[in-house]
Amino acid sequence: MAKKKYVVHTAVISGFFMAVSLFAYLLISHHMSMPDQVTQGRAVLLSNGQNAIERIKPVGNLFMELPAEVVVTNASISASTLPLDGAQVFNQSCAACHSSGIAGAPKLGDQVQWKTRLTKGTEVLYVNALNGISGSTGVMPAKGGNALLSDAEVKAAVDYIVDKAKTN
In the complex, residue closest to ligand HEC by CB = 135
Distance CA 117, CA 138 (A): 14
Looking at residue 92, its amino acid is Q
Cβ count within 10 A of residue 98: 22
When binding is defined by CB under 6 A, the residue of 71, 82, 87, 96 that contacts ligand HEC is: 96
145 binds ligand HEC (CB under 6 A): yes
Distance CA 158, CA 86 (A): 7
Q: Which is nearer to ligand HEC, 48 or 136 (CB)?
A: 136
99 binds ligand HEC (CB under 6 A): no
Distance CA 92, CA 84 (A): 10
When binding is defined by CB under 6 A, the residue of 75, 84, 108, 154 that contacts ligand HEC is: 154
107 binds ligand HEC (CB under 6 A): no
87 binds ligand HEC (CB under 6 A): no
Q: What angle do CA 148, 153, 83 make, to 5 degrees?
A: 85
Handedness of CA 150, 130, 162, 107 (dihedral sign): positive
Residues contributing to the site for ligand HEC (CB under 6 A): 89, 93-94, 96-98, 103-106, 117, 120, 124-125, 128-129, 133, 135-141, 143-145, 154, 157-158, 161
